Structure 1
């Protein structure tokens, strides 16, 4: 089925793996992707570089008898991780690595695109090679700047994420929430510094921060139903300059995760209330800032996901598994808030986990994924 054969796909993936780039700096990556696309038959293709976000790349395939436009997204950016795989095609960019498998995502998308570039689809297809998934909410950024308009506006959207916990080539999915939404939170507590020997003349923000953190622990355990899920983690705390000076300022930096947007908003409100209480109790200022961007929960559309699961489950060539929601974040969540669609897992079977310096997904998943998703899209166009 594939137009790009297995060896060509592996070559593409390895080259992409060698040139990882951070969010909104994917210039070499985008140029290489466009180069590969332009080698394909272009009779049905419209290749579009989106100027407001220069590393974003759209490729539209004109359908033969379209009744919808189907979007397919592949993210492009890498992580600030120093690779330790020892692979002959390891990252050539020091301190940057495709430790989340976006090189796999792009390669699978190119494989699917190469088939439809040669075999005109019935419906229109829009392939969105997205910058800045790991940071800076690239999907939301392109949406807000008008990238999904006119011929590039999808009626429904699909995307995959590789999964090292599933056998290579396995498709995993579920209705409802696939991955959690994430929200960054920064809390500044502002009091008054002073001499350690005269605490009555200062306003100690170390003590106030300790009380704040202690109260936060009760939000999940006592304010959220045990049948629902949420996470609050403050991973960074900074206060003071020296041991004998009372700290007049403390800063807490953390992350909130929830399986629904309503859950995240509820947690946000509780943190604001705790901040107000600490401010009143300690006579200090508490400033709370949230930054969620595009990292909304990945909520799959029921109707489209039902068809996706039914197809994958009953296709003899596909190893399909139902999966449970996870607390990792993904900015595809924002796009699925704007367009109905489905995100799913592609197994890549590795003992190392996503974002680790030794992550080495099995390349055998690539041609399997290309065939499975191409067949699904063809089936979808018949409905």
Structure 2
């Protein structure tokens, strides 16, 4: 069982739930985390701050006979969602909510850290309380700032995401990709505006945008292996000002999802080619801007994931479920592209989905998750 009692863990989760903050503004959250950590046994702990990423927090646990350094990451930011749970510990920040369950993520991480503060690990450990997962790719920011260098560089990285579709406390994982990579798409079409009565004197970007949108739909259906899959969603379009004026400009926004980086790059290329084709056929200027940032696919390391799954399957205290890949994004994928590791699900059993204003995770998952994770990490250190 974790060193922090289940009662104290639940209170920590509720405190965090009530103070959600958006990406790179997690000031109160970081202060609360540091206060909790200051109450742990400090004999083997070192805390690190990052001047250029002030809401990030790292804690190093010195191992007794280290052969490696194990990293554990949790995200700490929230979403711009107005909470509708009606809970007594609901968000006190209007329009902001831990609708993705990062309050659960943080509480589990604190529980694991608490355990190893009292039971010195064999290997060194790095706990990374990461800001800006939901936007602004905090993992990539930290890596590019050189945070994970020297004694602060993990040899392996682990992290979880809660899952309302799994039983409370169950562990879910799979070999290969757990989460898709994502890319933001912005497309601008420039032609020539004019009077609706004189189309021959204008270059209509509503028509050009309609053609582009239609052709984009064939990228997935005709250019991508259906066994592998991918997604392009164009969710926003703006063009024109009034019904009797031909629009000289159109703007489209969307997202790409793919289960491997190779797949995403292929979709990117085809989208650029479609844009170039529309530009030529309509004698227009078409600019396709793609921004992936740190949201690479979460591709689990084969050997480390095999060890993780084997341990969880053989542990009688763990309910293990092999899961399918999800098309949702997670910026832990960037860190896993640099440092081998594994991401997994923690079941929190709820009728509401992630990012929902009514998400209410089952808190009994917290202690079960901590027990499973600490057991795995200790088994890994014994290898």
Partner of 1:380: 380
Cα distance in structure 1, aligned partners of 2:165 and 2:127: 27
Q: 1:126-177, CA deviations, whole angstroms, 9 ceiling, x for partnerless residues?
A: 0000000000000000001111112210000000000000000000000100
Equivalence for 2:250: 250
Q: Secondary structure at the match of 2:371?
A: helix
Give distance in 2, aligned partners of 1:172 and 1:106: 18
How much is the aligned-residue C-alpha RMSD, in angstroms?
Answer: 0.5
SS in 2 for 1:184: strand
The residue correspondences of 1:117-156 to structure 2 (distance < 5 A) are 117-156=117-156
Using the alignment, how far apart are the partners of 1:150 and 1:54 within structure 2? Answer: 20
Secondary structure at the residue paired with 2:251?
Answer: strand
Query: Residues 168-183 of structure 1: matches in 2 within 5 Å?
Result: 168-183=168-183
Q: What is the DSSP-based 3-state SS (H/G/I as helix, E as strand, rest coil) of the residue aligned with 1:231?
A: strand
Measured against aligned partners, the alpha-carbon deviations of 1:239-274 in whole angstroms (never above 9, x if no partner) come to 011111100000000000000000000000001110
**For 1:147-226, what aligned pairs fall within 5 Å after superposition?**
147-226=147-226
**In 2: Cα distance, 1:56 partner to 1:145 partner:** 12
Taking the aligned partners of 1:228 and 1:259, their CA distance within structure 2 comes to 8
Aligned residue for 2:83? 83
**Aligned equivalent of 1:96:** 96
Q: In 1, distance between residues paired with 2:174 and 2:93?
A: 36
- 1:303 aligns to what? 303
Q: State how far apart, in whole Å, the 1-side matches of 2:359 and 2:226 are.
A: 34
Aligned positions of 1:103-122 closer than 5 A = 103-122=103-122
SS in 2 for 1:147: coil
Q: Which residue of the partner structure matches residue 68 of structure 1?
A: 68
How far the C-alpha of 1:18 sits from its partner, in A, is: 0.3
The CA deviation at 1:2 is: 1.3
Distance 1:11 1:224 in 2: 48
Shift in Å at residue 51 of structure 1? 1.1
Tell me the number of residue pairs that the alignment of Structure 1 and Structure 2 aligns.
383
1:262-302 deviation per Cα after TM superposition (whole angstroms, max 9, x unaligned): 00000000011101100000000000101100100000000
- Could you tell me how far apart the structure 1 residues matched to 2:228 and 2:3 are? 45
**1:229-248 equivalence runs, <5 A:** 229-248=229-248
Find the aligned partners of 1:266 and 1:160 in 2 and give their Cα distance. Answer: 29
Aligned equivalents of 1:36 and 1:226: distance in 2? 48
Counterpart of 1:54 in structure 2 is 54
**2:370 partner SS:** helix
Q: Aligned partners of 1:159, 1:203: CA distance in 2, in Å?
A: 51
Could you list the runs of 5+ residues in structure 1 that have no partner in the other structure? none
| Residue in structure 1 matched with residue 11 of structure 2 by the alignment | 11
Partner of 2:45 in structure 1? 45
Tell me the secondary structure at the aligned position of residue 140 of structure 2. helix
CA distance in 1, matches of 2:146, 2:43: 26
1:357 alignment counterpart: 357
- Report the 3-state secondary structure (helix = DSSP H, G, I; strand = E; otherwise coil) of the residue aligned with 2:277: helix
Structure 2: distance between partners of 1:261 and 1:223? 16
User: Secondary structure of 1:143's match?
Assistant: helix
Tell me the distance in 1 between the aligned counterparts of 2:189 and 2:112.
51
Q: How far apart are 1:91 and its partner, in Å? A: 0.1
* Aligned counterparts of 2:7 and 2:151: Cα–Cα separation in 1: 33
Task: Give the secondary structure class of the aligned counterpart of 2:128.
Answer: strand
Runs of 4+ in 1 over 4 A off after TM superposition: none
